[in-house]
Amino acid sequence: MKFLIIGYGSVGKRHVKNLIELGIDCLVVDPDSGRRKEASVESLKSYETLDQLGTLENFDAVVICSPPVFHISQTIWALSKAKKVFLEKPIGLNQKECQRLLSFNHKDIFVGYTYRWNPQFIQLKNYIENEFIGSPYYARFSIGMHLEDWHPFENYRNFFMSSSALGGGAILDESHFLELILELFGLPTEISCIQSKISPLDIDSDDYVLSHFIYEKLRIDIKLDLFKRPHESLIQIQGEFGSIECDFIQKNNILTKSNSYANFNSNSISFEYDRNDVFMHMISDFIKFVSNEISEARVPFSRGLDVMCLIDKMRVASENRKWVAIDRK
């Protein structure tokens, strides 16, 4: 099989390397001449635009790794050619533009929310589903990393994450945790949010998001930022009979059961995996999706659209400094 990779930046290079290791041929489209030169060094055919590509190449699927502002138009292009699509998160800039894909065969879209393949999250989900701590009533999701540390090989000001117009910012790029919340608990009933730029970073995108989700019997705090040092990626859940902590940086999950201050038992599990292992498992599933070995994407377009619904509601709540209800129909 041969896959077309749109966007040969950091994540595009990662996917290409993993796909080649899995026996998939790749070709690249990227408007940046420097990146096309890097692709040629790796013996990859590359094109500046999709129009330039034209009908010169045959390929079996499309992997979209461009800035989010281009995701919808490029996905429409791929679906119109009856190709299955791996679409990097977030699926777009807002819910309205993403709904354009409902007119196409959106079941052919596989969304790249990587944490869903993380073994720590898989175990955490198992703990919740099997009621290891009873019914959860409070959770905290916190993710943050200083933008200058993301791509130390380039000036962060030139990175799309610095530009709101290109789809950068904390609320979009760190929506990983919004997707995990949906996977564990579904949509909330109400949301409050503060979304802003508060650090000295020279960017025009948001770098700080603090939100609170209300469910019938559950409350969740979410913090997303682009300035945290050291890097943090943490989930804490409190339930009737104890708590779960999932620290993706330390690669450690802690399950604590307790019925009093003095009577508790903690079980700590350390995980041994490389970050790329998670990407490899994800792209392997996409290959199976393209080959029809699996019929549905683990993270389908409908889930990506629900994430965009949350993001839009969080924006409204922040702009108006008020609680916003969510219609869960």
Q: Is 232 in the same domain as 121? A: yes
When divided into structural domains, the chain yields a total of 2
Confidence of residue 152 (pLDDT cuts 50, 70, 90): confident
Q: Is 107 in the same domain as 121? A: no
Q: Is 229 in the same domain as 175? A: yes
In this prediction, residue 296 carries a pLDDT of 95
Q: Is 205 in the same domain as 259? A: yes
Does residue 28 lie within any of the structural domains?
A: yes
Q: Is 107 in the same domain as 194? A: no
Give the CA-trace dihedral at 188, 193, 195, 198, to 10 degrees: -130
Does residue 293 lie within any of the structural domains?
A: yes
In this prediction, residue 328 carries a pLDDT of 64
Does residue 83 lie within any of the structural domains?
A: yes
Q: Is 53 in the same domain as 152? A: no
Rounded to the nearest integer, the mean pLDDT of the chain is 95
Task: Give pTM, 2 decimals.
Answer: 0.96
Three-class secondary structure of residue 234 per DSSP: strand
Q: Is 39 in the same domain as 131? A: no
Q: Is 84 in the same domain as 170? A: no
Query: What is each CA distance from 145 to 34, 120, 142, 228, 274, in whole angstroms?
Result: 27, 19, 10, 5, 18
Q: How far apart are the first and last CA of the chain?
A: 40
219-225 and 208-214 beta bridge pairing: antiparallel
Region 163-179: mean pLDDT is 96
Does residue 93 lie within any of the structural domains?
A: yes
Q: What is the H or E stretch that residue 18 is in?
A: helix 10-21
Are 246 and 121 in contact, with CB atoms under 8 Å apart? yes
Q: Specify the CATH number for the domain of residue 67.
A: 3.40.50.720
* Region of 156 on the Ramachandran plot (φ > 0 left; ψ -120 to 50 alpha; else beta): alpha
pLDDT of residue 258 exceeding 90: no
Q: Specify the CATH number for the domain of residue 164.
A: 3.30.360.10
| Domain span at 181 | 116-271+307-325
Which tokens belong to 99?
């709904």
In this prediction, residue 45 carries a pLDDT of 95
Query: What is each CA distance from 129 to 119, 163, 209, in whole angstroms?
Result: 15, 39, 28
> Which of 37, 86, 142, 126 is closest to 287 using CA atoms?
86
104-114 pLDDT, tens digit per residue, is: 999 999 999 99
Give the angle 317-318-323 at the CA atoms, nearest 5°.
Answer: 30
- In the chain, which ranges are continuous DSSP H helix? 10-21, 33-41, 50-53, 71-80, 95-98, 119-129, 147-150, 170-173, 176-185, 275-290, 301-320
Does residue 267 lie within any of the structural domains?
A: yes
Angle subtended by helix axes 10-21 and 275-290, to nearest 10: 70
Q: Is 206 in the same domain as 316? A: yes
Are 91 and 305 in contact, with CB atoms under 8 Å apart? yes
Region 256-267: mean pLDDT is 78
Q: Is 285 in the same domain as 315? A: no
Does residue 125 lie within any of the structural domains?
A: yes
Q: Is 161 in the same domain as 224? A: yes
Are 245 and 235 in contact, with CB atoms under 8 Å apart? yes
Q: Is 85 in the same domain as 163? A: no
Residue 284 and residue 3: Cα distance in Å, rounded?
A: 13
Does residue 276 lie within any of the structural domains?
A: no
